[in-house]
Structures are given as C-alpha cells and as structure tokens.
Amino acid sequence: MSCPKTELISAYLDEEVGPGEKTRFETHLQGCSSCTHTLAELRSLRMAFSNAERHPAPYGFATRVIARTAGLEKKKATWFAPYFVGFAEAAVLLIVITVGILAGRVMTNGSPATTATNMASSLSLELFDATPPGSLGGAYLAMTEVRNEK
C-alpha cells in the first residue's frame, strides 16, 4: 500500500474508517515513518483541542434568554392587538344599537307597522297647537278656519 491521503489518516484518527481500510492502514503504518509522523502531528493537534478551555454559559444566561422570549411573546400579542381592539369596539357598538332597537320594540309593544305609524304620528305637527291655548293668536286662527270652511 502506498501512502494514503491525509484525509484517510485524519479519518483513521477519528475512528471513521471501515474495518478493512483500518487494517490495511495499520499494516502500512508499521513500515512508513512519513505516515507515522503525520499521524503523530494530528494527535498533537487533537491534544491541543482536548486541552482547550471549555466555556460554560455565563451565570444568568438562561434567565436572560427567558426574559427575551417574554418580549417576543409580548410582540406576538401586540401585533394583532390594534385590529382586535377595533373589531371589539365595532362589535360593542353593534350590540348596543341592536339592544336599543329591541328594547324600543318591547317598550312600545307593537308590530313593525304599528311602530312605523306611531313614529310618523309622533313626528306629526298635529300633536302640537300652533298657538298657546287661550291666546289671541288662537282665537284669530279659529275664526279664520271657520271662514275658510264656509
């Protein structure tokens, strides 16, 4: 076996080669100082990594993350809030109007036709005297009406 690529030596170090490849390389390794040297250098690099400082998350990290997610939840809630408030206001107004109409019907206790008649008569000027009762204007109008009838 000729010297393999560094890729295979690297994978051998990581125990990521198949059993056949592993056996062939180990046999080759026994008589190859170049590959032995390469492997030793890779092991040295691995040692440097294994000595490298491991960094646990700083104190209070999880609390800070959770606090920020609370902000996200708030954002989620406020995204549609203006639309929701507008809709709620419109709904309340509609309910008030409907209840008002129904209550009016119940209080007048009439059918729609009666209600319409009542409404028309309530708006009629005939309900009111044109002049104050017992006034000169009233007497004058009464005389004029009699004359007109004649």
Partner 1 sequence: MQNPDDLILIDRFKSGDASAFGEIVLKYQDKIYNLCRHMLGNAHDAEDASQDVFLKAFQALSKFQPEASLYTWLYRVATNTCIDRRRKPVFESLFGGSEEGERLVHDRASDAPSPERLYQSKQLDRTLQESLGKLSPKLRTVIVLKEIEELSYEEIADTLEISMGTVKSRIARAREELQILMKKFREQNP
Shortest gap between Cβ of 115 and partner 1 (angstroms)?
51
> Which amino acid, one-letter code, is at 24?
R
Shortest gap between Cβ of 50 and partner 1 (angstroms)?
8
Number of residues that this document lists for the chain: 150
- Decide whether 26 or 41 has the Cβ nearer to partner 1: 41
Structural contact between residues 6 and 38, judged by C-beta atoms closer than 8 angstroms: yes
Interactions with partner 1, residue window 25-84 (CB under 8 A): 41-42, 45-46, 48-59, 61-62, 64-66, 68-69, 72
Q: Counting contacts by CB under 8 A, is residue 145 touching partner 1?
A: no
CA nearest neighbour of 39 among 19, 55, 15: 15
- Decide whether 10 or 131 has the Cβ nearer to partner 1: 10
- Decide whether 61 or 84 has the Cβ nearer to partner 1: 61
Q: Give the DSSP letter string of 76-111.
A: HHHHHHHHHHHHHHHHHHHHHHHHHHHHHHHHHT--
SS3 state at 52: coil
Shortest gap between Cβ of 78 and partner 1 (angstroms)?
16
